Amino acid sequence: MPGTGPHLSWTRALVRRATPFAAIAAIFAVQALAAAPPVVAFPLYLTVILLVAMQRPRAESIAVSVAAAAAVLLVPAMGGQASDFAPAVLLAAVLVGVAAAMSELTRHSREAAAEARRRLNDVAAADRLLRATLETTTVGLGLADFEGSWTLVNEPLAAILGRRRDDLTRTPLRELIAQSDRPAFDEALGMIRGGDIVRWAADVDQLRPDGSRVPVAIHIARVPSSATAEPSLLVQETDISDRKRADALQGCLAAMRQVIAPSLNVESAMPQLLEAFCGYLGWTLAEHWAVDADHGAMRQRNASSLSSPLLEAFVLAGRGLKATSGSGLIGRAWQAGVVAAEEDIEKAVDFERLDAAQGAGLRSAAAFPIVDAGEVTGVVLLMSETARRMSDEEVTTLAAAGVEIGQFIRRAETAQALRRSEADHRAIYERSPIGIARISSGGELLEANPSLLNMLEHDEETMRATTWPDLLRAYDQAASRLQRPPFLAGVSDGSSVQVRASTGGGSWLWLQLTATSIPDSSGAPEHVLVMVEDVTAVRETSDRLAEALDAQREANSNLEKLDRTKSEFLSIVSHEFRTALTGIQGFSELIRDGGLEPDEVRAYGGYIFNDADRVNRLIGDMLDLDRMESGRMTMRTGDVDINEVLSEAISRAAPATVTVEFKSDLDPRLPIVAGDRDRLIQVVSNLVNNAVKYSPEGGTATLASRLEGHFALISVSDTGIGIPPDEIGHVFERFRRVRSGAAQSIPGTGLGLTIVKQIVEMHGGKIWVESAVGHGSSFHFTIPLAPEAANAMHLRHG
Amino acid sequence: MAEASGSNGTRVFTVLVADDNEVAQRLCKRVLEKAGYGVLIAADGLQAVDAALHQKPSMILMDVAMPGIDGLEAMRRIKAEIPAMPIVIASAHSMASDRERFLAAGADNVLSKPFRLADLLSIVQQLASRP
């Protein structure tokens, strides 16, 4: 019942409080009834008071003692005897005093007990907290003595070390430290024991029962001794595998970049990269596979260094293999372009070289692609002796590594191609037989190759200062002649011009300059490359060829002209012959047929004779002319007295000529000339005959001679019909007889003047004619003086 | 018009001989007259044209190489006036191509120099007997 508790307790408390009073009352009653002295009852009262004082609060024990005192005092007071009252008062005071003192004492002892109890509670709580903390923290904690024997280990510590707690407790701390870290641990422990240090922190590897290592951050602190305990060691450990792994990944990337950054050579860098994957990430071996030239398959290119013949056998087994896209671990990484891994290669259906791998003790494999511009160009295969599951971080790191390696390979290949091309260009530049100059866009010489310097026999300094500017000017002049832009205005077309240039050795060359402007990355002309070729020989050859061609052309044209002249000549000659033969044949036919008068026969015979004579002369003239023109006529040159020749011509012609009067106007001091006398007579008689032929009756033919410098000048003038202006230019041509008017009946071969001209020119003289129609003509010609005569003249005049 | 005519009043077949060579002139005149033809002489091309137009010969025996205008030009001018005038070119240009050239220029016949007298007479006879 709900109301019962407090009610009962209240009742009980009342009973408890009432009990001492009842006891005192009982004692008093017994004493009073027995009329015993108070001294007898006193020990009883005292007992009650002591009991109350020990158990009850102070007020209650005082109240009880007062009640007891009153009981002690009551009998003597009622007796009224003063002698009895005094000891009673004493007894009462004792009772009250005892109660007070006892009560105080009890209070003190009670408080002390409470304090002790509270303290004990606190310790228990602290102990609980400590234990809870020990068991719930992720940090491994343990207490060990100075010898390293565990007194306490928590569960996390056991978990880190891969042991059960009790098992761990039995294993000394030192044995848990990896062999490699023990010296450091021993030293640290010694220093802690010696009090040199109070705590030691380090990253060490610890051993698990399976032999594997776990990296931990260990912290050992000295716990001071207490009254109950020896000084001990507080050992705190944290598993830093994750941090170590992250560090390893970072380290691997850093090492890889350190290899890649300064290198431009894939072949030398790749083994180092593979070593980095093994060294930092704990893979047993690594292989580089690269796509073939034909992109059909991947082949093994490099492998990391190998520690055992079995591993070597594994790598060797891969030498002849071709990995194709999509098949095998390598092929899968290739096809997918992402990291592929096999924690247990035995379970992989398509792992190549499984036997070799197992033989070498390899258990896990991973392959990551080398990617360049989204294309897989190779794969790195990683093999591990221990089974390993790749963390996400490692996968990410390897993927990133693949991209960086891909970029590196491309960069290296580009650089190599560039180096090769640069080397090629350099070789061309240095060794080309063609002169090459690099010219700035401002026209200055930047560089000239050895060929150019050799060609022009200048050093580079002179080339830059004078020779090149000269060439540039020559280029512009040549370009302007060809109506091309000048050098600096735009020479991107690679056009050539040829210029003349002098060399340092003083000779002259023909140079062909071919300029090509090289644009910079923005397309603006950055510099100009000029090829300089010595085309002197070509030019000279071509000049000679051109001359030869011209000569040939002229010869051809002469031949053609000759041919034309020849057939023209033939036509004219045959016409002349046939004309002459017409009379000869016709009249001789008449004579043959008979029936003619003697006069007729005589006359016809005269016609026949004349024409026959003419044919004969024609033949003679033609042969003469032919000999002269072909150079086959030999001149019998000697000293000739021109005046004598002229006089003889007159004396020979005059008797036969009655119609024309001859005059002579000869210079008596005319020196001897050098000539062929017979030919000179032929010239003069021809001209004289012409003068006579073309002069009307009563005309005059005048022969004159005089000195003209180193020549004798001879003139044959007539007062004849003259030569029309349109014909005067042709009188010395063959068969160019003046036909018009009265001349038409004058006989001649038409070759006379042509022959005359030839003879004069063969002597080194000249012939020309002056004429006026109706007034006559003057033929003048010159013949050089004989050498001794010319010298004499020279002396005379000098 | 001065028509060439024979002494008996009947019209005589007259040949105009145009040639700058005197020997040829004399030869033709002698041969043709002896055969009974009338003969007129012209010493160059212009004379030939003049004689042809004014003296109306029955035919012309025309040399080619003559001073002034040559025989072919003279023939062209004559034929322009009197297309029916028979003209025989008598030339010492006597290659085959020359013969073709003269015929193409309008000559009625061609006589190569030197010639047999019978050939000359035959050609003239041929033209004289033409209706």
Higher pLDDT, A40 or B62: B62
**Is the separation of the CB atoms in A509 and A503 below 8 Å?**
yes
Q: Which of B44, B113, B114 sits opposite A744 (nearest CB)?
A: B44
* Chain B residues with CB-CB distance to A739 below 8 A: 20, 66-67
Residue of B16 and A415 predicted with greater confidence? B16
- Name the region of A602 (left: φ>0; alpha: ψ -120 to 50; beta: rest): alpha
CATH number of A634-797: 3.30.565.10
- Residues A256-301: tens digit of each pLDDT: 888 888 888 888 889 889 988 888 888 999 999 998 877 789 999 8
Task: Note if the bond before A469 is cis, omega within 30 degrees.
Answer: no
Of B22, B92, B116, the CB nearest to A589: B116
3-state secondary structure of A766: coil
- CA A696 to chain CA centroid, Å, is 101
Q: What chain A residue is nearest to B22 in terms of C-alpha separation? A: A745
Mean residue pLDDT across chain A: 84
Residue B113 is nearest to which of A578, A607, A741, comparing CB atoms? Answer: A578
State the pLDDT at residue A96.
83
Confirm or reject contact between A588 and chain B (CB < 8 A).
no
Closest to A231 measured CA to CA, from A146, A127, A142: A146
Counting Cβ atoms within 10 Å, is residue A602 exposed (0-12), middle (13-18) or buried (19+)?
exposed
A737, pLDDT greater than 60 = no
Residue B5 has a pLDDT of: 44
**A587–B115 CB contact, under 8 Å:** no
Residues of B with Cβ-Cβ distance to A614 under 8 angstroms: none
Side-chain half-sphere CA neighbours of A365 within 13 A: 28
Q: Which of A16-20, A172-176, A416-420 is modeled with the greatest confidence?
A: A172-176
* Architecture per CATH, A247-416: 2-Layer Sandwich (3.30)
Nearest CA of chain A to the CA of B85: how many Å?
Answer: 25
- Calculate how close chain A gets to B20, using CA atoms only, in Å: 7
CATH fold label, A137-239: Beta-Lactamase (3.30.450)
Asked whether this chain's domains A424-534 and A634-797 adopt the same fold, the reply is no
Are B21 and A585 in contact (CB < 8 Å)?
A: no
Quick: pLDDT tens for B19-56: 988 889 999 999 999 999 999 999 989 999 999 999 99
Asked if residue A742 has pLDDT above 70, the reply is no
Interface probe with B: pick from A567, A579, A614, A737, most Cβ of B within 10 Å: A579
All structural domains of chain B: 14-128 (3.40.50.2300)
Q: What is d(CA A102, CA A47) in angstroms, rounded to the nearest whole number? A: 11
> Sorting pLDDT into bands at 50, 70 and 90, what band is A497?
confident
Q: Which two tokens stand for residue A496?
A: 């050539």
For A65-110, what is each residue's pLDDT tens digit?
888 888 877 777 776 666 767 777 888 888 888 888 888 888 888 8
The amino acid at residue A682 is Q
Write down the residue that tokens 């009834």 correspond to. A33
Per-residue pLDDT band at A8 (split at 50, 70, 90) = low
pLDDT, tens digit (0-9, with 9 covering 90-100), for A569-599: 777 778 888 888 999 999 999 999 888 889 9
CATH number for the region A546-629 comes to 1.10.287.130
pLDDT score of A193: 86
Q: Span B64-89, mean pLDDT? A: 91
The 10s digit of each residue's pLDDT in A769-786 is 999 888 889 999 999 988
**Of B46, B44, B87, whose CA–CA distance to B67 is shortest?**
B44
Q: State whether residue A239 sits within 8 Å of chain B by CB.
A: no
Domain boundaries, chain A: 16-115, 137-239, 247-416, 424-534, 546-629, 634-797
- The separation between the first and the last C-alpha atoms of chain A, rounded to the nearest angstrom, is 184
Chain B positions touching A743 (Cβ under 8 A) are 67
How many CB atoms sit inside 10 A of residue A556's CB?
11
Q: What integer is the mean pLDDT of A677-705?
A: 88
Which pLDDT does position A741 carry in this prediction? Answer: 42
Nearest in space to A784 (alpha carbons), one of A687, A688, A643, A671: A671
Is B101 near chain A, with CB under 8 Å? no
The answer on pLDDT for A735 being more than 50 is: yes
- Angle CA A19–A24–A27, to nearest 5: 125
Question: For position A13, what pLDDT does the model report?
Answer: 81
Judged by DSSP in three states, A776 sits in: strand
The predicted structure's pLDDT at residue A308: 86
Residue ranges of E strands in A355-453: 364-372, 375-384, 435-440, 445-448
Rounded distance between C-alpha atoms, residue A613 and residue A753, angstroms: 19
- Tell me which amino acid residue A353 is: R
The CATH number of domain A424-534 is 2.90.10.10: no
Question: What SS3 string covers A604-635?
Answer: HHHHHHHHHHHHHHHHHHHHHHHHHHCCCCCC
| Closest alpha carbon to A603 in A618, A587, A579, A620 | A587
Residue A632: predicted pLDDT: 79
Closest CA to A714 of A649, A638, A633: A649
Under the banding of pLDDT at 50, 70 and 90, the label for residue A367 is: very high
Confidence band of B1 (pLDDT split at 50, 70, 90)? very low
Q: Centre a 10 Å sphere on the Cβ of residue A771 and count the other Cβ atoms it contains.
A: 23
Rounded to an integer, the average pLDDT of A121-136 is 83
- In the numeric block, the tokens 């006579």 are attached to A692
Q: What are the residues facing A660 on neighbouring strands?
A: A699
Q: Tell me the pLDDT tens digit for each residue of A185-220.
A: 999 988 888 888 888 999 898 888 887 888 899 999
